Amino acid sequence: MNSFSYVTATSPASAHELVGADGRYLAGGMDLLSEMKEYIAQPKVLVNIKSLPALNKIQPGDKSWTIGANVTIADLEDHAELKKVLPGIQQAASEVGSRQIRNFGTVGGNLAQHSRCWYYRHRDIHCLKKGGDMCYARHGDNRFHSLFTGNTCISPIVSNLAIAFGALDASVIVLKGGKEQKMTIDELYHEAWRNPEAHNSLEPGDLILRVEVPVQRTKSAYLQMSERSDFDWAIVSCAAAATVNGNKLNQARVVLGAVSNIPYQVEAANTFLEGKSLDEATTSKAADLLLEKAHVQPFNGYKIPITRALIHRTLMKLVA
Amino acid sequence: MPSWPEKREYIGSHAKRIDAPAKVTGAAKYPSDVQPEGWLYGMIYRSKWPKAKIVKIDLEKAKAVPGIKAAVFAPRFDQPDQTSRYYGEELAAIAGTTKQACLDALRLIQVEVKEMPFVVREEDAKEDTSPRVWDDQPNLSKPRLKENGDVDKAFSECDAVVEGFYTTPVQLHHPLETHGNTVSAGGDEITIWPSTQHVVGARNDLAGHLNVPQSKVHAICEFMGGGFGSKFGLGAEGGIAARLSQAAKAPVKLMLTRFDEALAVGNRPSSFQKIKLGAKSDGKLHAFELDSYGTAGYGSGGASGGGSASPDFPAPYIYKVPNTRVKQSTVVVNAGVARAFRAPGHPTASFGMESIMDELAVKMNIDPVELRIKNDPSEVRRKEYTVGAERFGWKEKYKKPGSSVGPVKTGIGCAGATWGGGGRGTKAEALVNPDGSFEIRCCTQDLGTGSKTVIALIAADLLGLKPEQITVKVGDTRYPPSGGSGGSTTTASVAPAIYDVCTKALAELQKQSGVEDARGANWAGACKKLGITPLTVNGQWQEGLSSSGAGGVQFAEVEVDTETGFTKVKKIVCVQDGGLIVSKLTCESQVNGGILMGIGYALYEERVMDKTSGVVLNPNFETYKLLGLSDAPEIDIVLLDMPERGVIGIGEPVTIPTAAAVANAVANALGVRVNSLPITPQRVLDAVGKLKNIVPAAAA
Amino acid sequence: MSESKPKDSFSVSRRFFLKSFGASAAVAATAQVEAVAAELEKVNAEKVHGPGTVPVTLQVNGKPLKLDLEPRVTLLEALRNHSNLTGAKEVCDRGTCGACTVLLDDKPIYSCSKLAIDSQGAKITTVEGLAKDGKLSPIQQAFIDQDALMCGFCTPGFIMSVTALLKQNPRPTADQIKHACSGNLCRCGTYPRVLQAALKAAGAPIANNKTEVISYAKLA
C-alpha cells in the first residue's frame, strides 16, 4: 500500500470535507485495502467513518426497515427478525464472503465495492475499467463475466446485497455534495451500465448513509451458485421478492446478480409474473424474458442454464 | 537382522502428535516467524513480462528510500541484456527495516526492457506458427517413444476398443507457508531458517551459493508450513536473501507473497492425453496406446531443483498390457517451471488410465470393479478392491451410467494407485541423561506429516517409556543428517535409524549401569547409575525394518446437479496398504489430506494463463480455489495392516487415485464423461448438453 | 523493528486538559470547561494521523502493546513484524484464507485486512492469549486430541474461528461449524478432524475413530 494519513470523522459533513479529492472512506476496509495492496487505489488519506453516529443501526418498521450503512454483514446475518421479515436480505448476507469478512464488512461497503474481474484486479494489467484501451476479458478468459452490459466493460457486479435490495425495491440514501439524496438500486448502479470506468453511480466523496427497505412484499429470497460450497463469489445470483397470495405473486421482482455490471432486472419479466401462480412453465417464461437480451461471451455461456435454474429455484422459494 | 518388537504399545497407536501443543498455542516458530536480532524485511522484484530482454535494471532510486539497507540483482541479472522467459522471474531484491520501506523501494526499481513475443498456453505453443520460448528449438519436443509387443496388430485382435482424450491442468502446490527463508549471512557464521523439505540440502545449497565451507552454515527448520514437493533446494529466493543479508550485514527475512507462489516456485505439469485401449471379450486388456504432451514451464524440470518435474508419467499406469505404444512430449511455454508435486506424474497418469478403464467397462458392460480386479497385477490391490467395494456398498450403489432420476444425479467410481515409499540413509543421535531424560536428535523434517511423533513412539516402545518422556529434536544441521522429505521416504528412512539408535542406547546404558534390563520401570534407576556423565550414542538406518511399495484404492460417491453443474463429493472410501504403521493418528491424517488434495485436483484447481498479457490470471486464493471445509466429503479409511513389510511411507499414494475416482463417479452419475480436470460447472453443463444452443455472440 | 520517526502531531487528551485546570477550578466554570473539553475531544477525534509513524496502542490479550506505526501497517504486520506475536500467520494477505484470524471484541476478523491504527480501542485476542496460566483452552485441547492439525500453519486461525463460534453459539451443529469456518483454508487436509474437534469442544457427540484396520494376512 502507498503511504497515507488516517483520520476518524465524527460527522458525515466533516467526513466529506476530510476525504477531499484524494481520500477514501474507510468502513470495514475489506475491498479498499485489497485494491490498495495492488496499488489499484492509492488514496492519500483514509477517513474512518465507523464512528459516524447512528449509521450502525437496523431499525425495523411497519412500512419499511432502515439499515444503516455501517451495519455489518454479520449483524444482518444474525438478525432474527430480519430473517423472518426480509429473508432475502438475510440469505444474501449469509453468503457474503466468510464470517471474518462479514464481521467487519458493512452494508455501505458491500454496495460500493469494486469489480472483481481478474483483469481489473491484476496489478499489471491496465484494462479499460482502469482507463486503459481494451477490455481484456472480451479477448481473454471471460468465464466469470457478464451476459448483459451497456458498454464495453463486461465485469459483473458482485454485491450480493445489491441484488437482494433490488428485488425489494429498496432505496439508498446517499450524501451527495452535502445533501441527502434518495436513489433506487437501479440509480445507484446505472452509471456502471453506461460508463466502463464506473463501478456504480457514486462520485468521489459520496457517502452511503442508509438503505430503506419497504416491507410491502411479504416474501423474499436469494440464491447463488458458486463453484465451492461456501466462501466463494457467485457465478450467478438471483433475488426475488413478491407479495404472495395463495400461490399467486403480486408486485414480483426478480433480479439477477453476477451477470451484468448492474443488478439486472427486466420490466417485462416482472410484469409477466403479476398475478401468476408459479410452476415450471411460468418460471421458465420469466427466465426467457430475463435472458432475452443476453449476449454470450466465448466462455460464459454456461451462465445461461445456471441462471434459468436459479430463477426457478428462487421463485419457488417464495411459495415454499 | 533387526526386527520391530512384537509387543507394541505406542507404535501403531493413536498416541497424540507430540508437537501439537506448540502448534495450537502459537508457540511453534516457523522460518517465517523467527526474529533474529536486527532482522530486516526482504522483497523480490519480479519480471512483469512473459518474455523480455532485460536490458538494464536500475536500483539507485530504490536504494535511496529511507530504511533500505541493501539492494541486489538476482543471479544472471547482474549482467545486462539477459532474457527473462516468464512473468514472475526474479530480477532484483531489496532489504529494509520495514515492510513499508521495501514496498516503496520496490516501486522505484527501474527496468529497461525489450518485450518479446511469448506464448503461455500449451494449445497455442505446440503450433508451428507459435512464438518460440527458446530460439533454437520448437516448443513441442519430439515424442519419447516406448513400445512393447505389436500394438497395431493387437488392436485388430481386440473385441472392444475405446478411445478418449483427457486433459489435466497445471496445478499449484500452494503450501500455506510460502516459500522463503530467514538468513543471517552478515558475519562469519551463517544461519539460515529455511522453509524447506530438506534441511541438509538447504544448508548445502547455501554454502555452495555463497562459496563458503558447509561447516560454516547452520540450517534450522523445526516447523514448516507445508511443501508438497516444491521446497527442495534453496530456491532463487534463498540465494537472494543470502546476498541481501551479506550486503546489509544483518539478518534478512524474505518470504514470498501468495502472488509469487503462483508464478515461480513450481507446479504439477499439465497433460493432454490421447488414449486408446483394447480388450479381449473376457475383459483382459490387450492393447494400449497413449500419445500425450504437457507443459513443465519454460524449461525442463531439472532447472528447478529436485524431484521429477517432467510432464511424463507412467502409462498404462498400474496395468500390465502386453502390447503398448507410449509417446510423450513436452511443450514449453513462457511460464514458471514445474517441480515435483506430491506423487509426480501419478495423479495425472491415474486420471487418464482409470477414465479409459471405465469407458471400457461401460462399453463391455463389465462392472468397473470387476474389470480392475481382472486386470490389476497387484494382489494387494485386488484384495483392496474387494474389501473396499463391500465397505462402500458398491454392488448396492452401482447403477448404469446416467440412470439416476431427477436433475441431481448420483454416481460412483473407483481407481487404484501405486507408489514406492521406501527410504534409507538417516542417522540419529541419542542422549541419555542421568536424570532419566532422553533426547533424540536427527536432522530430518516434519512437514506436518508427524515424523517427530514417529520418532517418539518408536523410542517409547523400545525403551518402555511414555512418548512424553522422549524429547525429539529435528530440523537442525547440527544433528545427524537425513535425506529430504519427498517421495514418501521419510518414515521408512527415519524409523529404522531411530530403532537402531534406541537399541544401541539401551544396550550402552545397560552396559554402563550394569542393569540387565533398563527398560520401563528400571529406566530411571539405570540412568542414575550414570553418575554425572550423559551417554551419547549414534545410530543409523538398518536394513530389514522398512521396505517400499504401497498401493491403495479409492471409491468415490458424488452428487451432480445437472441444472447448475455443481458437483459435490459425498463420500470417499480408501483402502490403503502400507507397512508397519508407526503413528496411526498421523497416518490417518495423511490419508485425509491426500484425499482432500485429490478432490481439489478433480474439481477446483487450475492455474489460468491469459493469452493476451501472458500473466497468471489467478495468483491468489480467490480464483485459484482450494477446497474448503464445506466441500470435504465423508472419508472412510481402511488400513491394511502389513507389519511384516516393515515401515513404508504413504504420504503420496493416498492422493493419487482420488481425482480419477471422482471423475469416474461423475461420469457414472451423468452417463457422459467430463474428460478434463477440473470438473467445473461449465464442463458438466457442456457434457450434459445444456450448452448446445448457446452460441457466443459475435465479438463486439 | 520499525524506525523511529518524529511524531506528526501532538494530541491533547480530555483528561489532561481538565487536569491542567487543577483542583481549584471554580465549579461555576466547570460547565464551560466541559464544553471546551468536548470541543477539544472532537478536534482530537478528527486529528489526522500520519503518513509517518504515529503512536498506536493495541490491547492484545489483555495487555497494551505500544508501537510506533505508519497508518498503512496492518494489524497482522503489527503483531508479526513489530512484536513477537507470530501466532497469527501471513499466508495470503488478501482476506481469503483465514490464517491471520484474530478476535476483535470476540469477533473473528482477518487481521491482514485491518489497519493497526484502525484497531485501537478494541479488545484483540490472538492464539497466544487463549491458554490461561499455561492451561490450554478446551478448544486447543480438542484440536490436539482429534489431531485437527498437521503442519499447523492454518491452526491458530481455525482455533480462533472455533473459539469465537463457541462463545457465540455453544452448541453449534456441524453445518454451523462448517459455515463459521468457511473462511479458513487448510492445504494439508485437516478439515474432517477440525470438524470433530469443534464438535467435541462443543460437547457434541462425535463418531469414534472409524478407521478400520484389517490384517492383510487374514484376508482371504
Q: Are residues B485 and B604 in the same domain?
A: no
* Cell numbers linked to B109: 526499481
Do A58-113+155-318 and A1-52 have the same topology in CATH? no
CA distance C101 to C110: 5
Between chain A and chain C, the number of residue pairs with CB atoms below 8 A apart is 107
User: Quick check: is B692 in a domain?
Assistant: no
Q: How much is the pLDDT for B696? A: 87
User: From the list C84, C86, C147, which residue is nearest B586 (CB)?
Assistant: C147
| Cα angle for residues B33, B37, B43 (degrees, 5° grid) | 55
Query: B229, B261, B293 — which closes off a domain?
Result: B261
Which chain B residues contact residue C131 at CB under 8 A?
25
- Burial of C19 per CB tally in 10 Å (0-12, 13-18, 19+): exposed
Single out the residue of B388, B365, B158 nearest to residue B277, CA to CA: B158
Which chain A residues contact residue B600 at CB under 8 A?
none
User: Quick check: is B246 in a domain?
Assistant: yes
Q: Give pLDDT tens digits for A200-234.
A: 999 999 999 999 999 999 999 999 999 999 999 99
Between chain B and chain C, the number of residue pairs with CB atoms below 8 A apart is 221
Which chain A residues contact residue B611 at CB under 8 A?
139-141
CA distance B169 to B409: 25
Q: What domains sit in chain C, N to C, each tagged with a CATH number?
A: 1-48 (no CATH), 49-128 (3.10.20.30), 138-201 (1.10.150.120)
Give CA separation, B636 vs B555, B572, B605, C170, in Å: 10, 6, 23, 28
Would the CB atoms of B26 and C209 count as touching at under 8 Å? no
**Cis amide leading into B681 (omega within 30):** no
Q: How far is A220 from chain C (nearest CA, A)?
A: 22
Q: Are residues B250 and B294 in the same domain?
A: no
The confidence band for A55, taking pLDDT boundaries of 50, 70 and 90, is very high
* Domain range summary for chain A, segments of one domain joined by +: 1-52, 58-113+155-318
Assess B48–A contact: CB distance below 8 Å, yes or no. Answer: yes
Q: Are residues B48 and B26 in the same domain?
A: no
Give CA separation, C107 vs A110, A188, C160, in Å: 19, 31, 9
* Cell numbers linked to A60: 425495523
Single out the residue of B104, C51, B99 nearest to residue A46, CA to CA: C51
User: Quick check: is B137 in a domain?
Assistant: no
Q: Give pLDDT tens digits for A130-140.
A: 999 999 999 99
Give Cβ neighbours of residue A299 (< 8 Å, ≥ 6 apart). Answer: A141, A142, A143, A145, B682
Would the CB atoms of A140 and B627 count as touching at under 8 Å? no
Q: How much is the pLDDT for C42? A: 61
Q: How far is A79 from chain C (nearest CA, A)?
A: 14
In percent, the amount of chain A with pLDDT more than 70 equals 100
Asked whether B183 and B364 are in contact (CB, 8 A), the reply is no
Number of domains observed in the structure of chain B: 3
User: Quick check: is B8 in a domain?
Assistant: no
Q: How much is the pLDDT for B460? A: 98
For chain A, the maximum distance between any two Cα atoms, rounded to a whole number of angstroms, is: 59
Q: Are residues B505 and B519 in the same domain?
A: yes
Q: What is the per-residue DSSP string for B458-489?
A: HHHHHHT--GGGEEEEESBTTSPB---S-TT-
Give CA separation, A62 vs A71, A242, B361, in Å: 20, 17, 64
Report the phi/psi class of residue B24: left, alpha or beta, with left for phi > 0 and alpha for psi in -120 to 50.
alpha
How long, in residues, is chain B? 700
C95, pLDDT greater than 70: yes
Helix H, strand E, coil C: the string for chain C is CCCCCCCCCCCCCHHHHHHCCCCCCCHHHHHHHHHHHHHHHHHHHCCCECCCCEEEEEEECCEEEEEEECCCCEHHHHHHHCCCCCCCCCCCCCCCCCCCEEEECCEEEEHHHCECHHHCCCEEECHHHCCECCECCHHHHHHHHCCCCCCCCCHHHHHHHHHHHHHHCCCCCHHHHHHHCCCCCCCCCCHHHHHHHHHHHCCCCCCCCCCEEEEHHHCC
Asked whether B560 and B669 are in contact (CB, 8 A), the reply is yes
CA distance B296 to B310: 6
User: Do β-strands B553-561 and B160-168 pair in parallel, antiparallel, or remain unpaired?
Assistant: unpaired
Q: Are residues B220 and B294 in the same domain?
A: no
User: Quick check: is B140 in a domain?
Assistant: no
A120, pLDDT greater than 80: yes
**Cis amide leading into B678 (omega within 30):** yes
Query: B471, B505, B540 — which closes off a domain?
Result: B540
Assess B623–C contact: CB distance below 8 Å, yes or no. Answer: no
* Cell numbers linked to B310: 517432467
Q: Are residues B295 and B394 in the same domain?
A: yes
Q: How much is the pLDDT for C220? A: 74
Single out the residue of B61, B107, B41 nearest to residue B257, CA to CA: B41
Report the phi/psi class of residue A21: left, alpha or beta, with left for phi > 0 and alpha for psi in -120 to 50.
alpha
Look up the CATH number of the domain holding residue B111: 3.30.365.10
Q: Is B145 helix (H, G, I), strand (E, B) or coil?
A: strand
Q: Are residues B69 and B211 in the same domain?
A: yes
For chain B, the maximum distance between any two Cα atoms, rounded to a whole number of angstroms, is: 91
Provide the terminal-to-terminal Cα distance of chain A, rounded to the nearest Å. 48
Query: B540, B573, B601 — which closes off a domain?
Result: B540
Interhelix angle for A303-318 vs A280-291, to 10°?
130
The confidence band for C36, taking pLDDT boundaries of 50, 70 and 90, is low
Give Cβ neighbours of residue A227 (< 8 Å, ≥ 6 apart). Answer: A235, B566, B603, B604, B625, B680, B681
Q: Are residues B77 and B216 in the same domain?
A: yes
**What parts of chain B have a pLDDT lower than 50?**
301-307, 700
Q: How much is the pLDDT for B305? A: 36
Q: How much is the pLDDT for C25? A: 44
- Burial of B685 per CB tally in 10 Å (0-12, 13-18, 19+): buried
Q: Is B228 helix (H, G, I), strand (E, B) or coil?
A: coil
Please give the residue range of the domain that contains residue B213. 40-116+175-261
> Which B residues in the span 438-497 are in contact with C, Cβ-Cβ below 8 Å?
447-450
Q: How far is A311 from chain B (nearest CA, A)?
A: 11
Q: How far is B615 from chain A (nearest CA, A)?
A: 8
> Which B residues in the span 664-683 are in contact with A, Cβ-Cβ below 8 Å?
680-682
Range A1-52: architecture per CATH: 2-Layer Sandwich (3.30)
Q: Which of B271-285, C11-25, C36-50 has the lowest mean pLDDT?
A: C11-25
Q: How much is the pLDDT for C35? A: 63
Q: Are residues B243 and B307 in the same domain?
A: no
Q: What is the mean pLDDT of residues A3-22?
A: 96
A58-113+155-318 folds as Enolase-like; domain 1 (3.30.390)
User: Do β-strands B470-474 and B438-442 pair in parallel, antiparallel, or remain unpaired?
Assistant: parallel
> Which C residues in the span 95-134 are in contact with A, Cβ-Cβ below 8 Å?
95, 98, 101, 104, 107-110, 113-115, 117-118
Q: How much is the pLDDT for C6? A: 37
User: From the list B87, B604, B610, which residue is nearest A141 (CB)?
Assistant: B610
Q: How much is the pLDDT for C43? A: 58
Average pLDDT, chain C: 87
Which residue's entry shows cell 441527502?
Answer: A180
Tell me the pTM: 0.95
User: Do β-strands B110-115 and B82-84 pair in parallel, antiparallel, or remain unpaired?
Assistant: unpaired
Q: How much is the pLDDT for A166? A: 98
Q: Is B25 helix (H, G, I), strand (E, B) or coil?
A: helix
Distance of CA B118 to the CA centre of its chain: 29
Q: Are residues B490 and B379 in the same domain?
A: no
Q: How far is A132 from chain B (nearest CA, A)?
A: 13
User: From the list C73, C93, C131, which residue is nearest B100 (CB)?
Assistant: C73
User: Quick check: is B122 in a domain?
Assistant: no
Q: Are residues B521 and B629 in the same domain?
A: no
| Phi, psi dihedrals of residue A183, rounded to the nearest 5° | -125, 145
Give CA separation, B347 vs B344, B595, B605, B612, C65, in Å: 7, 11, 13, 30, 49
Q: Are residues B580 and B683 in the same domain?
A: yes
Which residue's entry shows cell 508479526?
Answer: C80
Q: How much is the pLDDT for A53? A: 87
